[in-house]
Amino acid sequence: MSLWYCSVCHSEFTSKEKPATCDGCQSDDRMIMETPSIPRNLDAVRDAARKKMKGICAVYPSCDGNFDKICQKEAYGKPIGLGGAGSGQSFRANGTALAAIRFNMSVVGEHFEPDTRCSFLGMDLDFPVLASSTAGAEKYNDAIDETAFCKSVLLGSKEAGTIGLRGDTWFYTPENHPSLKAMKDCGGYGIPIFKPRSQEVLKELIERAESYGCFAVGVDLDGAGSTIMAREGQPVFKKSVKDIEELVRFSSLPFIAKGIMRPDDAQKCVDAGVSVIGVSNHGGRVLDATPGTAEVLPLIREQVGDLVTITVDGGVRTGYDVLKMLALGADAVLLGRDIIRAAVGGGTLGVRLHLDHIHTTLKKAMFMTGTKTIQMVDSNILF
């Protein structure tokens, strides 16, 4: 007899053969491992992800979109995988922009323990880092069931003291939507971000999110360029200010407009009544040759002031990167590719281990810049 462990819900059970499904959460055998194989640290999680995502992602120490990386090698006519659009300039720009920012180190003063607690849309979080609205992990070598992936992100985020956003993609339908199914199973703990589908379909999805008890809803406005959605019979559209206003009024929840890269677009979204502006170039996956998000974030903050909450993603790999983004004007920072790898490599546990690591390095960065609380973070800590 062997002792088995479900990496999604942490159930343990004994059986001679590997179970086909978990009795606790119904995840399939891809999420079940022998107890001695449970990853005990983040290196083990990443090693497991590297094996499962062979040919898709090598889980490099440096995830920068350079041409020597598996994800960014030119592959004509093949799916984009985890790479960036075109030559990957936007993917690389995200990391390059962050790497160019330097801290002002401060070591004289009273000793303190950094306080990372914060509030996001009225939710009390242990630190201002959220899992981004990724989707489609099931298509990476069939390494993980999509609903189990979504649950792992949501539950791992919750265990780490924060919350996860969940996305939308070409094989999600209004009738079979893994993100919404996972949030229902998790008691509404999550924030769905939908592709810019028709207004009627979005309203249907928003109503379901509200009925499940979700904290907020949003639309991935930069998903308007998704050709695969239309190819699969699920067309997406650019949204006008009037369209966004209609969705904001329709929902009783705070509304997130994600995919903003220009101050004037940000202002239009504020005028439409959104609660959150998501600064994002979709990880460099929808348009080649954009600036890095760290370059446009201060301009967008300057434009909208304190009228709205701002999130940002793009090239964020460490707690140091998180602090840079906060100093540039973000209220919360989103992680995408790293969370995918963590979920594939270790399910809920993998996501928690990764977020715990980010939390620890964020505290280190705050301590060495003399930043006692998240509320004290500003551009003065940057060189």
Give, in order, the Cα–Cα distances in Å from 58 to each of 54, 307, 317, 331: 6, 41, 15, 31
In 3D, which of 79, 39, 82, 37 has the Cα closest to residue 58?
A: 82
Alpha carbon distance 87, 296 (integer Å): 21
pLDDT tens profile 210-224? 999 999 999 999 999
115 forms bridges with which residues in the sheet?
373
Which is it for strands 2-6 and 12-15: parallel, antiparallel or unpaired? antiparallel
Tell me what pLDDT residue 78 has: 74
Tell me what pLDDT residue 102 has: 98
pTM above 0.95, yes or no: yes
Written as one letter, the residue type at 151 is: K
State the DSSP string of 293-356.
HHHHHHHHHHHHTTSSEEEE-SS--SHHHHHHHHHHT-SEEEE-HHHHHHHHHHHHHHHHHHHH
Domain annotation for the chain: domains and CATH numbers: 1-38 (2.20.28), 118-381 (3.20.20.70)
Alpha carbon distance 92, 152 (integer Å): 28
Residue 76 has pLDDT above 80, yes or no: no
Q: Which two tokens stand for residue 247?
A: 């969705």
Cβ atoms of 42 and 58 closer than 8 Å: no
Give, in order, the Cα–Cα distances in Å from 15 to each of 2, 4, 236, 317: 6, 7, 47, 39
Q: At what angle do helices 42-52 and 337-368 cross, to 10 degrees?
A: 150
Written as one letter, the residue type at 173 is: T
74: confidence class by pLDDT, cuts 50, 70, 90? low
pLDDT tens profile 335-366? 999 999 999 999 999 999 999 999 999 999 99
pLDDT tens profile 7-23? 999 999 999 999 999 99
**Mean pLDDT over residues 124-150, rounded?**
97
Give, in order, the Cα–Cα distances in Å from 159 to each of 189, 348, 378: 11, 8, 28
Tell me what pLDDT residue 156 has: 98
**Mean pLDDT over residues 376-382, rounded?**
97
Alpha carbon distance 69, 46 (integer Å): 16
Mean pLDDT lowest for which of 38-47, 81-90, 112-121, 284-293? 81-90
Tell me what pLDDT residue 75 has: 64
Q: Find the length of the chain.
A: 383
Residues 6+ apart with CB under 8 A from 127: 116, 117, 118, 161, 162, 358, 359, 362, 374
Tell me what pLDDT residue 200 has: 98
Residue 149 has pLDDT above 80, yes or no: yes
